[in-house]
Structure 1
Amino acid sequence: MTSDPIRHDDPMQSPLWRYALALYAKSGVASACLALQAHAGVDVCVLLYALFAANRGRPLTPAQLEASDQRVRGWRERVILPLRHLRQDMKDGIAPVPQALLELIRQEVKQAELQAEQVTLAMLHLEFQAQAAPPAAGSRSESTVREVVRLYLQLSQLPAQHLQLPQVQQAIESLEHQAGAMPHEQPRGPA
């Protein structure tokens, strides 16, 4: 993820987007997110949203997490996942196109995938703004990561034992540590 100049009137440049960029840039976070995506079916955008909400003192309930997933599921399935699969297929090569030429297009697909994820985060931030719930006491990044992983294991119909996989445990611990180290912010007016 890379940062663009901030425009406060642009929903694509929301506080959630800036939080996601800052957290994703921390050591081990990208690999932890990708491990949870690969081994537990986690939507990284929903995970980052849940961590953002917890950071803002408004941790999401399991029902809110599931509703957030449902809200972005169509976009993920129809846009993000096809772009991701195309990008991954291109990485392995597509005959007869030389890999050097294919890589030029692959980078464009990668950028489109990132922009599609940015749209997801914009949708989720609009959801966050619409929630009238007052801030809860404190944030709980530790339990937030585990709740998101549990949700996606259930949605993916993967056995709960996946939560105990070493790759999943290591990813959870890394995210808990890094998200817990993020500055805690309380929203000022509409966030």
Structure 2
Amino acid sequence: MSKLDLDGQLWRFALEFYALPSVAEACLTLQDEAQLDVIQLLAAIYADLVLQQPFSLQDVAELKRQTVEWRGATVLPLRDIRRFLKPPRDGFPEERQLLREKVKAAELLAEQIQLAMTEQWLGRRPPGPGLQMREVLGLLLVKDDAAGISRNERALDIALSALETAMNLVIRNYDSKGNYIGE
């Protein structure tokens, strides 16, 4: 694998999109309520809006396959550690907060690497017909109710609506070639 561009277009898009009103809350709701991989979500939105190459069913499956090992070995364990260290705990030193901040930075770097890996994959992906964004989002959501995943359908609908609103804002900021033109 060639050297990754950690500050690539997908990373910059992810930062800008995530900062839009209600997007962070929507992403965290989808992450916590439906085990959605926010990195995959951002890549799908980027492919659809900026590259104007929406994902197909095969693309979603390939994206999941491409990222599952990295996410499982780095992002998720770091997130679990960061969340474990958040509340004050008896017997834990005050320095746990310092450790939590370092773990949080490592988690962000792991996500940045996953985005860079995904951007490389996007560059190799052949163009073709794709699905509507809501269909892609549905495919990205974990649907394993047997595992006891609690789902708040209303929260998921609100989150998806917030993302759609943000996506409509973004559409106005890119030209037909995917170049950022601003407001």
TM-score > 0.5, shorter chain as reference: yes
1:150 pairs with one of 126, 139, 154: 139
Report whether the alignment pairs 1:172 with 2:160: yes
Superposed CA RMSD in Å reads 2.4
Measure how far apart 1:181 and its partner are.
Answer: 1.0
What percentage of aligned pairs have identical amino acids?
A: 28
1:19 and 1:169, CA in 2 relative to 1: closer, same or farther beyond 3 A?
A: same
- In the alignment, the residues of structure 2 paired with residue 169 and residue 58 of structure 1 have an alpha-carbon distance, to the nearest angstrom, of 25
TM-score of the superposed pair, with normalisation by structure 2: 0.83
- In the alignment, the residues of structure 1 paired with residue 134 and residue 78 of structure 2 have an alpha-carbon distance, to the nearest angstrom, of 26
Unmatched 5+ residue regions in structure 1?
1-8
- In the alignment, the residues of structure 2 paired with residue 60 and residue 172 of structure 1 have an alpha-carbon distance, to the nearest angstrom, of 17
- In the alignment, the residues of structure 2 paired with residue 13 and residue 51 of structure 1 have an alpha-carbon distance, to the nearest angstrom, of 18
Q: Which stretches of structure 1, 4 residues or more, deviate above 6 A after TM superposition? A: none
1:10 and 1:79, CA in 2 relative to 1: closer, same or farther beyond 3 A?
A: closer
Local SS of the residue matching 1:92? coil
1:114 pairs with one of 85, 108, 115: 108
Q: Which has the higher helix share?
A: 1
1:62 and 1:77, CA in 2 relative to 1: closer, same or farther beyond 3 A?
A: same
Unmatched 5+ residue regions in structure 2?
none
Measure how far apart 1:131 and its partner are.
Answer: 1.7
Partner of 1:76: 71
- In the alignment, the residues of structure 2 paired with residue 184 and residue 149 of structure 1 have an alpha-carbon distance, to the nearest angstrom, of 25
Measure how far apart 1:66 and its partner are.
Answer: 1.5
Partner of 1:184: 174
Partner of 1:32: 26
